[in-house]
Amino acid sequence: MRIADPAVTSPVIATFSKIAGLRDFSQRLQALRDESPEFAALRIDRQYEKAGSIEGVRLHGDFGLEIVLTEPYPQILYWFAMPFTTPVPWEAVAYYDGEEGRPFFKDHPVGCGPFEVSEFDKQSKIVMSRNANWYGVQHPEWKAPGTVYPSEGEAIDRRLGRLDPAYVGRSLPLLDRIELRLEKEHIPAFNKFLQGYYDASGIVHESFDKIVQEGGLSPEMAARGMKLEKSVDPDIYYIGFNMNDPVIGAPAGERGRKLRQSMSLAIDVVEFNRVFNNGRGVPAQSPIPPGIYGYEQPYRNPFRQLDLTRAQALLEAAGYSGGIDPETGKPLRLSFDLGDTSTAGRLRFQFFVDQWAKLGIDVEIAATNYNKFRQKVKEGAYQIFMWGWIADYPDPENFLFLLWGTMAQANSGGPNTANFDHPEFNRLFEEMKGLDNGPERLAIIHRIRSLLEEERPWIELYHRESYALYHSWMRNVKPAGLSLPAAKYVDIDPIERKRMRDAWNQPILWPAYAGFALVALIAIPGVVTFLRERQ
């Protein structure tokens, strides 16, 4: 119900509007609030009650909930696994209303997990501490599942020593307090991790070679007892073409397609990952990342392998021989429109521009601030852009809908910024999204894939690979991708931490003494003069 509350401005309301009657409820609530201020002043649960029930949500006894949808949408189950569909007590929502010094509910989460948020400062840190009211803490004698350290897990857990017998059977959570800090500058943050002031960290790419060698920890770091965990993120980074553009888009027909294919063949993403990501990142072949149904590891997209000769041939076939635009007699000029003016961003964009330059295409970086970029997108005044998408839930629909005509920016302002609107793709996609995973669905995904190979609305770049580091005193860490609630298993050895932290941080003081000596040396003649004058 909270998601349907217009005052919450939930970004997922569109998805949940597939629940029958949810939108009606939302409108009724807004209308009642607009009509009478008295209603708007009522306690939140009274307001919801008066606005009436949601037609598609029915209760069955104490433990049953039935939800009726207006259309087939199997993905809704994923949405119900997300943090924002956690049940919340209305008392807490009513109490934390932002009035009289009380924070808003969203700034003061109330839940029923092993930890509670004791400090929430968006600028610097989140502190969580052991929740004394958690059922696992109040009733350790129940030995309820999820309240004691498990003795069983995935096969890989045993191999990696995550099921340490010393922990099995101990009550959870193991930590009393977790502090998450926001660091705006990543280098100092990582240095502090190396100095032992943080227990865990990602790897900043600048220090990568010192930490990781040949896919594992470097000997120096291994000697410190550090541990490394790798995982591939369910995301995709891509360069997109505005398919409504007369030069590179659909209006240019076969010429445009050949141009896109040629530009796709010129991008060497392995080199990009080597230069900017220390070789991390899986080169993407299609929009679907590893871990999502439809991803096939051996699959190679014929237009995503570096091949300059073929790229040049295609460019010639498109009518731009050697990159020369026959209309102007000069190299073809395209613009790469970006909403990021940072120095770091610019280097990355320049990398791609340099690669297209090898074909003789003159791509200009048009970096503006975010608002100006969005304005360009709205007006359709862009040609090439770069974007990324992180999975909301593990289903191919969540990636392929980015190319669905209905979601096109030009049609509906949706996230299909490439404005790809291909009848065949649309038909296949609409068929695919309602299907359960299985051979039928896979066959359609294969057809979509080969369609995208040819059409090239995107140049798929890479799927990120995350490396996480832990100090020796941090135990029982398991990377969990999209789901996060694993903190209750983690343990820390504070004595070890103190010992190593002190050992690593012996200050080197001699330059200070040397500096003082130098200053004194320079000042002494002056002081001598001073004394002489006084006498």
**Looking only at residues 386 through 425 of this chain, which bind other proteins when binding is defined by CB under 8 A?**
392, 412-413, 415
Q: What are phi and psi of 75, to 5 degrees?
A: -65, -15
Return the number of the residue (107 or 254) whose C-beta is nearest other proteins.
107
In this structure, are residues 377 and 409 in contact, taking their beta carbons and an 8 Å threshold? yes
* Binding flags for other proteins, 289-328, as an x/- string (CB under 8 A): ---------------------------------xxx----
Residue 521 engages other proteins in binding (rule: CB under 8 A): no
Q: To which residue do tokens 């004791």 refer? A: 118
Nearer to other proteins, 70 or 191 (CB): 191
Tokens at residue 235, please?
Answer: 């995301």
- Residue 64 binds to other proteins (criterion: CB under 8 A): no
Q: What is the CA radius of gyration of the chain?
A: 29
Residues 238 and 386 sit within 8 Å (Cβ to Cβ) = yes
Q: How many residues contact other proteins, by CB under 8 A?
A: 85
Q: Indicate whether 81 belongs to the interface with other proteins (CB under 8 A).
A: no
Cis? peptide before 415, omega within 30° of 0: no
Q: Are residues 19 and 67 in contact, defined by beta-carbon separation less than 8 angstroms?
A: yes
| Nearest to other proteins of 125, 300 (CB atom) | 125
The yes or no reply on residue 451 touching other proteins (CB under 8 A) is no
Tell me how far apart the alpha carbons of residues 192 and 465 are, in angstroms, rounded to a whole number: 23
**What minimum distance in Å lies between the beta carbon of 437 and other proteins?**
23
Which residues in 356-375 contact other proteins (CB under 8 A)?
A: 357, 360-362, 367-372, 374-375
517 makes contact with other proteins (CB under 8 A): no
Nearer to other proteins, 143 or 374 (CB): 374
- Segment contacting other proteins by CB under 8 A, of 81-89, 334-342, 433-441, 487-495: 334-342
Are the C-beta atoms of residues 117 and 108 closer than 8 Å to each other? yes
- Backbone region of residue 523 per phi and psi (left: phi > 0; alpha: psi in -120 to 50; beta: other values): alpha
Residue bearing tokens 């969005």: 374
Beta bridge partners of 179: 127
CA 134 to chain CA centroid, Å, is: 30
Q: Rule CB under 8 A: say whether 36 interacts with other proteins.
A: no
Q: What binding mask, one character per residue, do residues 471-510 give for other proteins by CB under 8 A, x or -? A: ----------------------------------xxxxx-
Position among 91, 97, 107, 164 found at the interface with other proteins (CB under 8 A): 107
By CB under 8 A, residue 2 contacts other proteins:
no
The CA distance from 136 to 174, in Å, is: 12
φ, ψ dihedrals at 53, nearest 5°: -85, 165
d(CA 116, CA 443): 46
Quick one: which of 62, 71, 511, 513 contacts other proteins (CB under 8 A)? Answer: 511
Among 21, 283, 287, 331, binds other proteins (CB under 8 A): 331
Task: Give the nearer residue to other proteins in terms of CB position, either 48 or 320.
Answer: 320
Q: Is 531 in the site for other proteins (CB under 8 A)?
A: no
Query: In this complex, which beta carbon is closest to other proteins, that of residue 117 or of residue 324?
Result: 324
Q: How long, in residues, is the chain?
A: 535
What is the three-class DSSP state of 58? strand
102 binds other proteins (CB under 8 A): no
Closer to other proteins by CB, 320 or 489: give it.
320
Q: Which of 47/285 has CB closer to other proteins?
A: 47
Question: Should residue 10 be labelled a site residue for other proteins when binding is judged by CB under 8 A?
Answer: yes
Q: Cite the DSSP H helix spans in 195-288.
A: 208-211, 219-223, 253-266, 269-277
Cis, peptide link before residue 173, omega less than 30° from 0: yes
Nearer to other proteins, 274 or 300 (CB): 274
Q: Are 441 and 448 in contact (CB under 8 A)?
A: no
156, 343, 423, 483: residue in contact with other proteins (rule CB under 8 A): 343
Please say whether the beta carbons of 398 and 433 come within 8 A.
no
276 interacts with other proteins by CB under 8 A? yes
Q: Is 104 in the site for other proteins (CB under 8 A)?
A: yes
User: Considering the complex, what minimum distance in angstroms separates the CB of residue 277 from other proteins?
Assistant: 12
- For residue 486, the minimal CB distance to other proteins (Å) is 25
Name residue 363's beta-bridge partners.
Answer: 334
The stretches of 165-252 forming alpha helices (DSSP H) are 186-194, 208-211, 219-223
Q: How far is CA 141 from CA 113, 138, 296, 488, in A?
A: 18, 9, 47, 18
Instruction: Please report, as residue ranges, which positions from 161 to 220 form the binding site for other proteins (by CB under 8 A).
Output: 181, 183-185, 187-192, 195, 197, 204, 206-207, 209-210
